[in-house]
Amino acid sequence: MNASQPFPFLTVLVLLPAVAGLLVAVLPRSRRLLIEGVGVAATVAELGLAVAVAVRFSTSQGGYQMVSRHPWISGLGVSWALGVDGISLFLLLLVAVVFPLALLGGRVRRDPAQFVAWMLLLESACVGSFLSLDLLLFFLFFEATLVPTYFIIGGWGHARRGYAAVKFFLYTLFGSAFLLVGILAVAFIHKSQTGKLTFDVVQLASTHLSGTAGVLLFCAFTIAFAVKAPIFPFHTWSPLAYAEAPVAGSVVLSAVMAKLGTYGIIRFDLTLFPHATVVMGPVLLTLGVVGIIYGAIVAAAQRDLKRLVAFSSLSHIGFIVLGLFALSTEALTGSVIQMVNHGILTAGLFLLIGMIYERRGTWQVSELRGLQRPAPVLAAVFTVVLLGTVGLPGLNGFVGEFLILVGTFVTHRWWAVVAVSGVVLSVVYMLWAYQRAFHGKTDESNARFADLTWRERWLMAPIVALIIFIGVYPAPILNRITPTVDRLAHHVALANPPAPHHLTAATHSGENAAARAAANGRAVNGR
Partner 1 sequence: MLHLAFLMPLLPLAGFAVLVTFGRRLGNPLAGWLGTATVTGSFVIAVIVFIGLLHRTGDARSFTQVLFTWIPAGSFHARAALLIDPLSMTMALFVTGVSALIHLYSIGYMSHDKDYPRFFVYLNLFVASMLVLVLANNLLFSFVGWEGVGLCSYLLIAFWFDRDTATTAGKKAFIFNRIGDTGFLLAVFLLFGSIHTFTFSGPHGIFAHAGSMSTGLATAVSLLIFLAATGKSAQVPLFTWLPDAMEGPTPVSALIHAATMVTAGVYLMVRMSPVLHRSPDALLVVASVGVATAFIAATIGATQNDIKKVLAYSTVSQLGYMFLAVGTQAYVAAIFLMISHAFYKGLLFLSAGSVIHGLDDEQDIKKMGGLRKYMPLTYGAFFVAWLAISGVPPFSGFWAKGDVLMNAFADNRALWAVGLITAVLTAYYMSREIALVFYGDERWRRLRVIKGEPHESPWVMVVPLVILAFCAAFGGLLNLPFHPNWVVLDHWLQPVLGSVVRVPHVGIGGEWALALGDAVAAFLGLGVALGWWVGRSERPALEPAFLRRAWFYDAAIDRLISRPSTAASLVAATDVEERTIDGGVTAVATLVRATGDRLRRIQTGFVRNYALAIAVGAVGILAWMLTRASL
Instruction: Kindly identify the residues of this chain, within the stretch 45-74, that bind partner 1 according to CB under 8 A.
Output: none
Interaction between residue 442 and partner 1 (CB under 8 A): yes
CB 313 within 8 A of CB 325: no
Interaction between residue 409 and partner 1 (CB under 8 A): yes
Q: 343: number of CA atoms within 13 Å, CB side?
A: 31
Interaction between residue 372 and partner 1 (CB under 8 A): yes
Interaction between residue 12 and partner 1 (CB under 8 A): no
Which of 47/227 has CB closer to partner 1? 227
Question: What contacts 400, CB < 8 A, 6 or more positions away?
Answer: 319, 320, 323, 334, 335, 337, 338, 339, 340, 341, 342
**According to CB under 8 A, which residues from 235 to 294 bind partner 1?**
235-237, 294
Q: Report DSSP letters for 445-488, one per residue.
A: HHHTPPPPPHHHHHHHHHHHHHHHHHHH--HHHHHHHHHHHHHH
Report CA-CA distances (Å) from 129 to 143, 197, 252, 514: 9, 21, 14, 38
Of 67, 202, 428, 451, the one binding partner 1 (CB under 8 A) is 428
Q: How far is the CB of 431 from partner 1 (least distance, A)?
A: 5
Check whether the bond before 230 is cis (ω within 30° of 0): yes
Interaction between residue 385 and partner 1 (CB under 8 A): no
Residue 26 one-letter amino acid: V
Which of 190/267 has CB closer to partner 1? 190
Q: How far is the CB of 403 from partner 1 (least distance, A)?
A: 5
Q: How far is the CB of 386 from partner 1 (least distance, A)?
A: 11
CB 209 within 8 A of CB 275: yes
- Contact window for partner 1 (CB under 8 A) among 43-51, 121-129, 268-276, 422-430: 422-430
Interaction between residue 424 and partner 1 (CB under 8 A): yes
Interaction between residue 216 and partner 1 (CB under 8 A): no
Between helices 305-326 and 237-244, what is the axis angle to 10°? Answer: 130
Interaction between residue 387 and partner 1 (CB under 8 A): yes
Q: x/- contact string, 324-363, with partner 1 (CB under 8 A)?
A: ----xxx--xx-----------------------------
Question: What contacts 374, CB < 8 A, 6 or more positions away?
Answer: 442, 446, 447, 448, 449, 450, 451
Q: How far is the CB of 235 from partner 1 (least distance, A)?
A: 8
- Report the candidate in 119, 166, 141, 144 with the shortest Cα–Cα distance to residue 24: 119
Interaction between residue 486 and partner 1 (CB under 8 A): yes
Cα–Cα distance measured from residue 440 to residue 340, given in angstroms and rounded to the nearest whole number? 34
**According to CB under 8 A, which residues from 185 to 214 bind partner 1?**
185, 188, 191-192, 197
Of 49, 53, 94, 405, the one binding partner 1 (CB under 8 A) is 405
Which of 32/439 has CB closer to partner 1? 439
Cα–Cα distance measured from residue 312 to residue 194, given in angstroms and rounded to the nearest whole number? 46
